[in-house]
């Protein structure tokens, strides 16, 4: 990671981090819905209620490498394509997502921003854009 972080780069990292959180959240929600629908539909009936959650899971898992690549390249850690490829493999993919998602809040804190669940808070981004917070390289 480089020490120079412009407001544009911080916005780019925040957008990539939110995208990764969105993909993981959609996958989790769809897994939950799939489990619920599998319990409430009677045995032997067609499982039409499970189609939409299944498609959501499929879309999330196909989008996960893209989200991982975007965050790795915006954070400038390692070789982004390797992060994306490893995110495809089951438990290894889960570890990759946890590791890379753990890097972003630390990076935001190094830039002097308060971090919430989805990245830097609106207040800290507004303060950054107003010039009240200076990234470490420009202090």
Residues 10-19: tens digit of each pLDDT = 899 999 999 9
How many other C-beta atoms can be found within 10 angstroms of the C-beta atom of residue 128?
20
* Domain region containing 22: 7-138
- The reply to whether 2 falls in a domain is no
- The reply to whether 25 falls in a domain is yes
- The reply to whether 1 falls in a domain is no
pLDDT by residue (tens digit) across 82-99?
999 999 888 898 899 999
What's the total number of domains in the chain? 1
- The reply to whether 133 falls in a domain is yes
Q: CA-to-CA distance for 139 and 137, rounded, in angstroms? A: 6
Residues in Cβ contact with 89 at an 8 Å cutoff, skipping those fewer than 6 apart: none
- The reply to whether 36 falls in a domain is yes
Largest CA distance in the chain: 67
- The reply to whether 51 falls in a domain is yes
pTM: 0.83
């Amino acid at each position: 990671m480089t020490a120079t972080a412009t407001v544009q780069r911080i916005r780019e990292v925040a957008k990539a981090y939110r995208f990764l959180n969105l993909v993981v959240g959609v996958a989790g929600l769809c897994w939950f819905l799939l489990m619920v629908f599998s319990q409430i539909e009677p045995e032997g009936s067609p499982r039409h209620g499970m189609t939409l959650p299944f498609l959501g899971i499929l879309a999330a898992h196909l989008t996960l490498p893209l989200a991982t690549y975007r965050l790795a390249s915006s954070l400038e850690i390692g070789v982004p394509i390797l992060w994306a490829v490893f995110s495809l493999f089951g438990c290894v993919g889960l570890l990759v997502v946890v590791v890379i998602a753990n890097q972003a809040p630390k990076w935001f804190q190094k830039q002097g921003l308060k971090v919430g669940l989805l990245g830097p808070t609106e207040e800290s981004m507004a303060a950054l854009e107003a010039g009240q917070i200076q990234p470490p390289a420009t202090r």
